[in-house]
Amino acid sequence: MKIVHFSDPHAGGGAEDWMAYFDKRWVGVFNYRFRRRFRHDLSKLERAVAYILSIRPDVAVCTGDLTSAGQPGEFERVRQVLEPLRNSDIPLIYMPGNHDCYVKRPKCVKAMKDMVEYLSCGRSSFDSFPSRETVAGAEFYKLNTSRPSNLLCSWGFLYKEDAEKISGWSREEKTLPRILVSHYPMTEDHPILRIRHRLFGQKKILQLLEEEKIDLVLCGHVHKPYFQRRADGRIFECCAGSVTRNGSLVEINISADGKFDFKTVEL
């Protein structure tokens, strides 16, 4: 089984209505105008889509932040790039990032929810998360950790009831590899330094990883790709980084006996 994992395209643009200057969107627009647009190249996402279509994996996973400020026009720009992948017969799993869930404005929330259903071809809806899906020989736990936060922070939150639902599924007999898909990493090497960007409430998930009830976490949020390893060297968390900044994605091959092999692909 082959999985391709990519993340954080961060399509951006200007403020799409005057109300954007009275909510958090102005932060995302400012960030894009003066920093992110010089670092992120959407053509690299086009190359990623072409590469995925050429190797035809069993499933593609995108761990969020399609946009910079969660605006409908930003979702539309990235939708056009991802459309060939979505219209292929390769299943696509998309979990929204904090920039996709940036504000509570109804049209922004609708654009994000529409994108979840569109990219999954109707297999997923935002309001159904957490949910699970078996695809091509692996069980995927789809966990939303992205919600609007205050003006200066990019916090993620894992609600207790969501963690309990994941825990309940994990107590069932494991017959297939279990992969958790989340925008936020479950681990944080620098919890104090990254206090404005970290996830809260993941203690139960970390316990399940320790017990190997869950085999692997696929995540984004951190733009530099990395792997977290167990004491024996096995990878238990894969952060794909930003595809439009680094021009890379991760291929994961799962053998018949359940072993994982990882390869970072430079596009």
- pLDDT, tens only, 168-206: 999 999 999 999 999 999 999 888 888 999 999 999 999
Which residue ranges in the chain fall short of pLDDT 50? none
- The pLDDT value given to residue 192: 85
Gap between the Cα atoms of 34 and 29, Å rounded: 9
SS3 132: strand
- Tell me the longest C-alpha to C-alpha distance in the chain: 56
pTM of the model: 0.97
Task: Give every CB contact of residue 79 below 8 A, 6+ residues apart in sequence.
Answer: 115, 118
Domain boundaries, the chain: 2-266
Distance between CA atoms of residues 20 and 23, nearest Å: 6
pLDDT value for 191: 83
Can you tell me the distance from the alpha carbon of 142 to that of 44, in angstroms, rounded to the nearest whole number? 26
Does the domain formed by 2-266 have CATH 3.60.21.10? yes
* Host H or E run for residue 266: strand 260-266
